[in-house]
Structure 1
Amino acid sequence: MKKKSLKYYAGVVCTALALFTSCNDLDLAPTNKFTDLNYWTSTEKASAVLSMAYSQMFGADFFFANERLSDNLYEGRGSTAEKLITSGQADAALARFSDEWKKCYEGIKTCHTFLENVDRVPGMDETLKTRMKAEARFIRAFLFFRLTCHYGDIPLFDTDLTMQEANTIARSSKADVISFVRNELNEISTILLTKQEYAASDNGRITCGAAMTLLARTYLYENDYQNVASICEKIMNGEYGQYKLFPSYSGLFLPENEYNEEVILDLGYVLLLRTWDQYYDAIPLSVGGRVNGFAPTQELVDDYVMKNGKGIREAGSGYNEDDPYVNRDPRFAATIVYHGYKWTKGDGTTSTIYIKPGSSAEAGASNLDEYAGPGQNSTGTGYYLRKYFDPTAPAGMNAGLNIILMRYADILLMYAEAKYELGQMNEDIWNKTIRPIRQRAGFTDATALDYPASDLQNIIRRERRCELAIEGLRLFDIRRWRTIETVLNGYPHGAKFASNNSQYIQLDLRRFNKDRDYLFAIPQSQRDINKNLTQNPGY
């Protein structure tokens, strides 16, 4: 594993500004002994504040929670915030709505604290200061974009707020927020370094490649395919650093391969110091899981094509419903645990995962992983997760594995989609995008690798789903495609384990109100404080 620099783990090194309290989440002032007059005395202290902003940009909790808001995962236990949202029962008092809002504005507060005080540091290298300011501006832009994607119109400001301002500020239009974000990203992309220009000790730093990738996403989420294609083409041409596909798909998500040539931006974690534990409730119980909180749906499983590139319902695919997991897209086994799966442990030994009802005898012992119906400790869908399992994590799954926010495969997929939607997709573009992604995954059949004659939109969208599954992006794809109105309305399914293994498991009903659910509610707790905050329709 490449050595991780601790400078980015604000939970470890940044105590100076760690306590934030206020009535309004937009005004989160530090309340300890440090002040603007006595804190900003060294480059190291300034770096500590920027490190805190890095840690506030995003986290594993929201990363996997976003995936649970999509049709990729199902939550089988309890009444979590995400389950309330997907069942159509959410209201403005829901904790997820207030937590997302609060966390984003906390990070924005830290960025403003840094930007408005870093010039106080005596003797600080000007080139370093300029670059660090650009990093803080990226994080602020990332957070504003995250907010507007979920809430639409939001309070937008580029300086620190007084208490009075925080309690009276109104929402700016989403268009104005997006314009601000894009202007920031365009400006800082000329300041930030490429990935190759950083030393190994600076692994994890925000780069100009990350800025341009985020810029491409701002256009992708509005279906502005001309700008998506233009930006992605520049990234592919190496104008913002050199990126390429990592040779192994499963290896992408292992700790020994962190910061590899495909990674554009990731969230830094390190064992014992800054960790995440969401997979404690996602992996099989027999290999260290606690209870199963969320699991892949049958709908996700069904979207993985066969090794010959054909969908499972296509003529000539070779799919056998009674033996459904053979000859599938190699990324399937790298992502999802199914009945009969060969689980490789951190020590290199393997065990077989038995999930099908009635397989306890085959397992030869009490079978913790067997599907036992809704609300049980084992999986609610007949599947578990493998992708993002950290084999070096101790018992309890406090993982130190970095979480990838942006990678080069996404650039290729965005480019392929944009070119198709512009009516410019051809064999040459296919061979630069989908073909190498599938080759890296392990496809070898010509029918899977060669340019298809038809059904390109479905192929590209399905490719995006399977390549990027469990990476927090599916929610935003189905929103912008408007398919969320269909895929989150109705009953999702699990494996064919119901009624004596004769029917697919029918899971809890999901409801999506197209007149309300494209946006989160503005938190009621904030509207109680600030009467100028209007509410989104339907809440």
Structure 2
Amino acid sequence: MRIRKYFLIVTGGLLLVAAGCKKLDLGPSYQDTDLSFWQKPEAAVQTLNNCYAGMYSDDYFFFNESLSDNAFCSSPVNGGAVQSIAAGAYDGRTNRVAGEWAFHYGGIRNVNNLLANIDKVPGLAADLKARYQAEARFIRAFHYFHLVNWYGNVPLIKDEISYDESFNIGRSPKADVVSYILSELDEVTALLPLRSAYTEADKGRITKGAAAALKAKLLLYQSRWADAAAVLEGILGGTYGTYTLYPSFSGIFQPENENNSEVMLDLEFVPVQRTQSMQRFFIPFTEGTLITGMAPSQSLVDDFIMANGKGINETGSGYNENTPFAQRDPRLEATIIHDGSSFVTKRGETVTIRTAPGTGDNAVDKADASPTGYYFRKYYDRTADGNNNSGLNLILLRYTDVLLMYAEAKVMLNQMNEDVWDKTIKAIRQRAGFTDPAALSYANYAAIGNTAMINMVRRERRSEMALESGRIFDIRRWKTAETVLNGTLYGMKVGTSNLAVNRRVFDAGKHYLWPVPQADIEMNNNLLPNNSGW
């Protein structure tokens, strides 16, 4: 297939031909011409599978945590220089800033290519073609969702464009792009199957539920609380398919439980054929094979509440700094590895991880080990090979996120009540392993006031969704990034004080949006003016 010279806003003419979805054929073969490729019956599904494979990046998924207050990236190159971004030392030439833009526009180009040519594919049943088109349009909407969150106003490209047109296209207002995404999601929701309609071979494909959940998230990000709540109530009520909390919190992220009752959308991998090896950056150094590239922060550890529902600094919490991990939120142990944690290696051996200074190769004072004294346990795949190549899927949307979005929408409308609480926070905590009525009963929180309730719901989201890529978007949309991303990032306590690991800088006047990549501006001045402060 002739490589098309589509729009130059994709730096370097990026063409995504990443490895495909689970057990699905990829295409096209670039030995084919455009015409001959689209005359093949398998052309549509192969191209769609390429679109799936390029929907998101495992690198971005994990290293987004280090852009937030959840984690520190210890390498200046990992994640496209996220260390520099977190320190406020970046611009339109920074790898991640330019790469994110190119990645998503490459994905949009692939979708537009499919939609422009799918009618040429012989023998494609009408119902299957309609489904493929809906899946592709969702993927395009997913790309635009990320683009508007990072850059604000962006070029809105709905169809294939020519080489010449790429020099002249400008940026559309964010509001127009958001309206387009919402309209697309409404239309594809009507066309996509329910989750239950897919065969075993097609598990992992996009569903009505995924489209509804992405729409709700976009509405929530625009502070359209009532509109978001209405969509979320439809999901809770089963309008878009049946989803339930998976019984085990830690089990959600294990390969034997992929595509479980909670998963609404994921980035699919399969051992040997298509793998990701990101865990090598965040599990204990003795297991990871590489420098510990991402380490949890003390701030994240401290935000996990006590088993009685109180924050560690609240009166009556029972927190003891000499035994800081006792009587804590069960999700803390399921998410974080700390000094004294039990850990099962890929060899099946149960070991105790020591991170205090002078305690071994995983210790905070050892070169290449965690600089914070913490590692991540979540998303650790024991079935990965010796180089930590894993077939574990990465979950992009899950039902607990829906419940947390609903709780947030209702509390922002000042409509939190016992019914909403029981459906959301109580259910989530019960699944996590809380048993103390003090943490589960709405009566214990009803009088705290709406501001405190908002903060409680936000804290619940942070604890539940850590290492799932969303924290950076949350603190940006809440406009709290200027508070939590300015100052020192701390690690574990050593002696009488916590380790000072890194200095963070967030300028509220410019950092809530990334700049348009400089290379793209140099090719097309219509992308100007740049975002405020850049």
TM range (shorter): over 0.9
1:118-171 deviations in Å (ceiling 9; x for gaps): 111112110000000000000011111111110111110211010111111011
CA contact (8 A) 1:255 1:390 kept: yes
Quick one: which amino acid aligns to residue 215 of structure 1? K
Distance 2:208 2:8 in 1: 36
Quick one: which amino acid aligns to residue 243 of structure 2? Y
1:516 to 2:514 alignment: no
Task: Return the match for 1:502 from 496, 502, 514.
Answer: 496
Structure 1 position 332, deviation (Å): 0.5
CA contact (8 A) 1:75 1:380 kept: no
Matches within 5 A, 1:149-160: 149-160=149-160
Task: Return the match for 1:394 from 365, 385, 393.
Answer: 385
The SS at the match of 1:196 is helix
> Comparing 485-494 with 78-87, which one deviates more in the overlay?
78-87
Distance 1:290 1:154 in 2: 37
Task: Return the match for 1:43 from 19, 41, 44.
Answer: 41
Distance 2:29 2:369 in 1: 45
Distance 1:346 1:237 in 2: 41
CA contact (8 A) 2:2 2:34 kept: no
Structure 1 position 288, deviation (Å): 3.7
Quick one: which amino acid aligns to residue 191 of structure 1? L
1:258-294 deviations in Å (ceiling 9; x for gaps): 0000000000001111111222121112234422111
CA contact (8 A) 1:40 1:117 kept: yes
| Structure 2 residue aligned with 1:458 | 455
1:407 to 2:398 alignment: yes
> Comparing 242-251 with 507-516, which one deviates more in the overlay?
507-516
Quick one: which amino acid aligns to residue 402 of structure 1? N
| Structure 2 residue aligned with 1:5 | none
1:63 to 2:58 alignment: no
1:398-444 deviations in Å (ceiling 9; x for gaps): 11100000000001000011111101110111011100100000000
Quick one: which amino acid aligns to residue 46 of structure 1? A
Task: Return the match for 1:368 from 356, 361, 364.
Answer: 361
Distance 1:271 1:413 in 2: 32
Quick one: which amino acid aligns to residue 316 of structure 1? G
Task: Return the match for 1:432 from 423, 434, 448.
Answer: 423
- Change over 3 Å in CA distance of 1:28–1:399 after alignment to 2: closer
1:491 to 2:478 alignment: no
1:536 to 2:531 alignment: yes
Structure 1 position 97, deviation (Å): 1.1
CA contact (8 A) 2:7 2:166 kept: no
Structure 1 position 43, deviation (Å): 3.3
CA contact (8 A) 1:19 1:32 kept: no
CA contact (8 A) 1:303 1:466 kept: yes
Distance 1:413 1:53 in 2: 29
- Change over 3 Å in CA distance of 1:99–1:432 after alignment to 2: same
Structure 1 position 74, deviation (Å): 0.7
Distance 2:134 2:288 in 1: 42
- How big is the alpha-carbon RMSD for the aligned residues of Structure 1 and Structure 2? 1.7
CA contact (8 A) 1:335 1:386 kept: yes
Distance 1:324 1:54 in 2: 43
| Structure 2 residue aligned with 1:25 | 10
| Structure 1 residue aligned with 2:371 | 380
CA contact (8 A) 2:208 2:240 kept: yes
- Change over 3 Å in CA distance of 1:23–1:429 after alignment to 2: closer
Structure 1 position 42, deviation (Å): 3.2
Please list every run of 5 or more consecutive structure 2 residues that lacks an aligned counterpart in the other structure: 16-27
- Change over 3 Å in CA distance of 1:116–1:470 after alignment to 2: same
Distance 1:166 1:31 in 2: 25
CA contact (8 A) 2:70 2:466 kept: yes
Structure 1 position 31, deviation (Å): 10
1:311-350 deviations in Å (ceiling 9; x for gaps): 1011121111011111111101111000000002345431
The SS at the match of 2:265 is strand
> Comparing 311-320 with 294-303, which one deviates more in the overlay?
311-320
Distance 1:176 1:346 in 2: 49
Quick one: which amino acid aligns to residue 258 of structure 2? E
1:67-88 deviations in Å (ceiling 9; x for gaps): 2111001122336511111111
Quick one: which amino acid aligns to residue 232 of structure 1? L
- Change over 3 Å in CA distance of 1:31–1:274 after alignment to 2: closer
Distance 2:184 2:63 in 1: 28
Please list every run of 5 or more consecutive structure 1 residues that lacks an aligned counterpart in the other structure: 1-15, 361-366
Structure 1 position 305, deviation (Å): 0.6
- Change over 3 Å in CA distance of 1:493–1:19 after alignment to 2: farther
Structure 1 position 23, deviation (Å): 5.2
Normalized against structure 1, the TM-score is what? 0.92
| Structure 2 residue aligned with 1:472 | 469
The SS at the match of 1:507 is strand
The SS at the match of 2:119 is helix
Distance 1:183 1:222 in 2: 15
**When the two structures are aligned, how many residues end up with a matched partner?**
512
- Change over 3 Å in CA distance of 1:355–1:64 after alignment to 2: same
- Change over 3 Å in CA distance of 1:319–1:147 after alignment to 2: same
CA contact (8 A) 1:91 1:521 kept: yes
